[in-house]
Amino acid sequence: MNKKKQIQNLINWIDKSGIQDKNGGVYSWWDLKKNKYAFFYSEITGYYITLNLYLYKIYKTKNFLLNAEKAADWIEKNALLESGAILTRKYLDEENDNFSFEGKNIFSFDSGMVLIGFCYLYKNTKNIKYFKIAVKIGNYIVDNFVQDKTINPILNLNENKYIIDNSKWSFQQGSFLNKVAIGLYELSQITNDDKYEKIGISICESSFTFLIEEDYFITNKEQNYVEMHPLCYSLEGMFFIGTNCKIQKYIDLTNNILNWTESVFKKNLNIYETYDLQENKFLDASRSDIYGQLLRLLKITSKTNTIEKKLEDIILSTISVSESKNEKGGIYYNNSKQHVNSWSTMFNLQALILNSENILNQSNQKIELLV
């Protein structure tokens, strides 16, 4: 099957598989063993807004814009609190106190991804409702997570306290929060208030405390690991802010770390999630989201490299060819093929489009709307 057809299958999965519920919320994944969707995920619903706007700009198909608006309306009705806080996961038949709506853990990262979606949606629709929601979310992030030019990962509303757990990357302060700066920059653009941009820059500056010899960001200080998924988030935010705010050291650092990442890839003939810095090797199996993230970074930085083709081949091999509506065209999360993953599919779809010059040239689009 040629790449153009596979890209269309990915788009069909995004648009028609049911990963977006009829009420607008977006599920995390389709579980093949349980034969059902897992849970609604606010962060991923934010990504879905941005991806559909990206597809709308390229293909000019109105349904993509409608998908984005439905997703935003679900956030407004279900996940957005009056304060501007964004609840994390809405489980269908089970709960997890760390992530559930009831647990009231508010993640700054998830809030930032939703903020990005609302900023872009306002830019595309000029609907004042989306502007007001973006401002509300952005102000909540600034007022409740940003302290001394750094950003905290989690605020628990039930106990009104910050939660930091150094055993897991998403529960600790870290460079991955650079991606939140994208939302703050875009909020500056729609409000004409540069305070948000300045705070975004301060978040990127604070991430230098996690930098090791300008080769990589350590993502788990307790275990001395570099995890590739949050490392890519780090670079996405760093490069975006560097490019849009004309900060050359951010651009240079992104390229330096991509050099290190490419060398690790070539040494191991692949790239996996957790790299042990003491053992100098990967500890676990592959996961498909990092392939799309890494290929996107190589494309938006226009970095000369030797792994683009290998990355694309791996991505194409992870696409489901099942005839099941819930699976066909989606991306398996890993080699176990136990679930078809929503954010992996989004990241990898955007990566394949970026690596297809004919698609971008036909629509005269440059990269923006990074999912």
Q: Please, what is the angle between helix 108-125 and helix 42-59, to 10°?
A: 30
Quote the pLDDT of residue 367: 59
Which amino acid type is present at position 349? Answer: L
* Pair 235, 258: CB distance under 8 Å: yes
On the 0-12 / 13-18 / 19+ scale of CB atoms within 10 A, 293 is buried
- What is the pLDDT tens value at each position of the chain, 371 positions in all? 799 999 999 999 999 999 999 999 999 999 999 999 999 999 999 999 999 999 999 999 999 999 999 999 999 999 999 999 999 999 987 666 678 998 999 999 999 999 999 999 999 999 999 999 999 999 999 999 999 888 999 999 999 999 988 878 999 999 999 999 999 999 999 999 999 999 999 999 999 999 988 888 988 777 788 999 999 999 999 999 999 999 999 999 999 999 999 999 998 888 889 998 888 889 887 899 999 999 999 999 998 889 999 999 999 999 999 999 999 999 999 988 999 999 999 999 999 999 997 676 554 445 589 99
* Pair 221, 212: CB distance under 8 Å: no
* Pair 351, 291: CB distance under 8 Å: yes
Neighbours of 181 (CB within 10 A): 29
* Pair 294, 232: CB distance under 8 Å: yes
Quote the pLDDT of residue 96: 66
Fold of 12-363: Glycosyltransferase (1.50.10)
Quote the pLDDT of residue 364: 45
* Pair 352, 363: CB distance under 8 Å: no
* Pair 169, 219: CB distance under 8 Å: yes
The ranges assigned to domains in the chain are 12-363
Residues 281 and 33: their CA atoms lie apart, in Å, by: 31
Residues 123 and 202: their CA atoms lie apart, in Å, by: 25
Sequence-distant (≥ 6) Cβ neighbours of residue 132 within 8 angstroms: none
Residues 270 and 267: their CA atoms lie apart, in Å, by: 8
Q: Please spell the DSSP secondary structure of 261-286, one letter per residue.
A: HHHHHHHHTS--SEEETTTTEE-S--
Q: Which helix (H) or strand (E) element contains residue 203? A: helix 194-206
Neighbours of 261 (CB within 10 A): 25
Quote the pLDDT of residue 338: 92
Quote the pLDDT of residue 196: 98
